[in-house]
Structure 1
Amino acid sequence: MKTKTTVQFNTEFMLLLGRLLQNGFSLQQALEFMPIVFPTQKQWLHQVQTGLEAGKRLAPSLAAVSFPAHLVAQIELTELQGNLGECLLHLGQLQRIQQKRRRELVGVIAYPCFLLLFLGALIGMMQIYLFPEIAQFNPTTSATSPLQLFFRVMGTFVIMAGALISVYFFRWHRRPLLQRLAAAFRWPFIGKTLQAYYQYCLLFDLATCLNNGLNLAEMHQLTHRLAKTSWLVQLMQQLETAVQKGGTLLANLADGVFYPPELQLVLAKGSPLQQMAKEVDLLAVIKYDELQRQLKQKVNWLQPLLFILIGIIIICTYLSILLPLYHTMEGIS
């Protein structure tokens, strides 16, 4: 039976395991120590240990206990060529940042969402009790109120948008993995952030391989040992196919949405392997900072948008109250 884990535990697991490995623990010793820190996950950790004792590597052992697939792919690549501790620390730190941004997002939208709920309840009460009373002053007026018009327009928009998005996602989900990701990079609002995340993962993996002395040919051989469902493996296969058809490596890097433009410039320089490793490592750090900045920016944009929506609802509510009264006063005069 597979034990379900939380995002928080997955993050802390990678961070702790990375620290233990970097402090000289063997993988088996680290996993034997972990139940002390995570007593509620003893069964899950035991299942991972069982996989290791059966001769599996860490990545397949984690995959067998439903560890997130994208993290398993990153761990598997690093595990095959070394430096596992650093990789786990990087992944854990990235997951922690994502959790932090998620908490910030909840904090940012909590107050506007509370206001929207409060406004919804208030408008419902007004619709039941106040608007019928106002209508009695001018029973001949049957025009749609601004508030009703707003909700009708919004309702129509939501229904149409929901239908279009459902059709799009149905077709999107049936496409190959790389095509799905490339399409996701063009999504409004979050597309650029997704692209930055995958580019960071690519740069981090490439820097790790270069720091361990692997050249591009050896990296290519390494990817053949990874799971074929990994986006990174499929990306390398796509690149290999394009080069075999007569294209150059740099030309294909320039055309691909997965490769940051800076990577092409670094590879075009033809620096020695050690220098190239430092340059790619620096690119990974820069992309990491860019990813954090984009995530923070997206979070900061949400609250003003919600307040604009609240403002529109309040204005429509006032108009729905005042316009009938104005028409009534006009009729009296």
Structure 2
Amino acid sequence: MRNMFQLPFEMKKIIRFRKSNGRVKQIPSLFNRMSSLLDEGYTFSDSINMLLPYHVENVENWRGKIQEKLRRGDDVVEILQSLAVPTQYLMAIKIAQENGEMALALKNAAMQMEFNEKMRKKLINLLAYPVLLIVILTSVFIAFRKYFLPNIIEIITSSTNENSSSINVAIMFLHLPDILFIVAGLTFSILIFSSFYIKKQGIKKQINILLKIPIVSYFYKLQITRHFSSVLGGLLVAGFSLQQALTVIQDQQLNKTLSYVTTVIEKSVKYGESLSSAVSIMTMFFPKFEDFIKHGEKSGYLGRELLIYSELLDEKLQSIIKTGIALVQPLFFLIIGICIAVAYLSILLPMYEVIEII
């Protein structure tokens, strides 16, 4: 695992690289067009050289770097990595180099990028108004606590010469934003610290830790199962034997978790276990995954059924993401509603006290 102290130096390299080369724009569009050109018979080299002017500013510099990589014998994945394509989309492309489905892999990666970008923009749009309201409410709370409440306290104490319970309640209510910000800050800090801690562990320990966290465990199993079934299914459909397919997945370094999981499965398969039996022993896959594999083994269409199962999980994940994003705005409005109610109480209680005194 990378040492966390190396991260600043790596970030500096990335920043220098981007400054000297410029940013690659509209990667999903690049992948879609490249997929169409590959289907028409163009080579990868011809396709990327043809499309670069539409997606980068310093065209000659990019072309020179890509040609240098091609002369060195770098593969498609290494070239796409230089274009700052996120690693999560490169796994399928890596496997596509083995099974000859490069055009389809690029098209699928473009669809995933477009979906993620669409969800990101939707989340930003949904949160923009609630966040603005929260900022305004927080400003009102602070202004009332700093300017208005001290005058009321002075009026009440000068008239009664004792502390008022309504004032104490109002002060407590007016500290609600402080409590919310402290809780949010602590939660964020814990998440960041936990993320760094987990990343520093070995793959086996990472898996064990993540599988013990209730909600995270569900999504982690879903992601591993989705990736494994997609990659293995694609290789089996391309004509690879089970043993060959497992070896290819095991040797790749883009997804080390998948490589580790496949290594464990491959050892069981070597000793004569069926794939369904090897999967059933492990606790890191989605429930009933072994039953699906068993059906594919019996029918003789294991590769095709694994791809279908991967598509089902992908649809399930996208549905969960859409539902989660749809619930974010109502949750924020509920928090805003509570803040407004508290604001009214913190204003009205001292005002009633003043009215009674007058």
Q: How would you bin the TM-score normalised by the shorter chain?
A: 0.7 to 0.9
Contact 1:207/1:278 (CA < 8 Å) preserved in 2? yes
- The residue number in structure 1 matching 2:266 is 240
The superposition leaves residues 134-168 of structure 1 with CA deviations (integer Å, 9 ceiling, x where unpaired) of 22331243625242342354355345435544543
**Could you tell me which residue of structure 2 aligns to residue 138 of structure 1?**
156
| Equivalent position to 2:110, from 88, 92, 97 | 92
Give the whole-Å Cα distance in 2 for the aligned partners of 1:64 and 1:187. 35
CA contact (8 A) 2:38 2:47 kept: yes
Contact 1:47-1:65 at 8 Å conserved across structures: no
Equivalent positions of 1:146-225 (< 5 A) are 146-158=172-184, 160-162=186-188, 164-177=190-203, 179-180=205-206, 183-184=209-210, 192-193=218-219, 195-225=221-251
What CA distance in whole angstroms lies between the structure 2 residues aligned with 1:226 and 1:218?
A: 13
Distance 1:41 1:280 in 2: 42
* Distance in 1 separating the partners of 2:185 and 2:39: 53
Query: For residues 52 and 59 of structure 1, what CA distance do their matches in structure 2 show?
Result: 11
- Cα deviation digits, residues 109-131 of structure 1 (max 9, x gap): 11101111111222233233322
Supply the distance in 2 between the matched residues of 1:228 and 1:292 (Cα, whole angstroms).
23
After superposition, residues 1-333 of structure 1 pair within 5 angstroms as: 2-3=17-18, 9-40=26-57, 42=59, 43-44=61-62, 46-64=64-82, 66-139=84-157, 140=162, 141=164, 143-144=168-169, 145-158=171-184, 160-162=186-188, 164-177=190-203, 179-180=205-206, 183-184=209-210, 192-193=218-219, 195-227=221-253, 230-241=256-267, 249-256=275-282, 258-269=284-295, 270-271=297-298, 273=300, 275-332=301-358
| CA apart distance, 1:31 | 1.4
| Contact 1:116/1:310, CA 8 A, preserved across alignment | yes
Q: Supply the AA of the counterpart residue of 2:99.
A: Q
1:22 positional shift: 1.9
Give percent identity, aligned residues only: 18
Partner-residue secondary structure (3-state), 2:48: helix
Checking the alignment, whether the CA contact within 8 Å between 1:112 and 1:303 is kept in structure 2 is yes
* 1:323 partner amino acid: L
**Contact 1:182 1:257 (C-alpha < 8 Å) held by counterparts:** no
1:314 CA displacement: 0.9
| Conserved 8 A contact 1:146-1:317 | no
- Report the 3-state secondary structure (helix = DSSP H, G, I; strand = E; otherwise coil) of the residue aligned with 1:260: coil
Conserved 8 A contact 1:193-1:294: no
d(CA) in 2 for partners of 1:59 and 1:66? 11
Tell me, which stretches of 5 or more residues in structure 1 are unaligned? none
Cα deviation for residue 103 of structure 1 reads 0.8
CA contact (8 A) 1:105 1:299 kept: yes
1: CA distance, partners of 2:265 / 2:47: 37
Q: Once superposed, what is the RMSD of the aligned Cα atoms? A: 3.0
Q: Is the 8 A contact 1:70 1:230 kept in 2?
A: no
- CA distance in 2: counterparts of 1:205 and 1:307, whole angstroms: 41
- How many residues align? The count is 331
1:122 partner amino acid: V
| C-alpha spacing 1:47/1:284, structure 2 compared with 1 (3 Å) | same
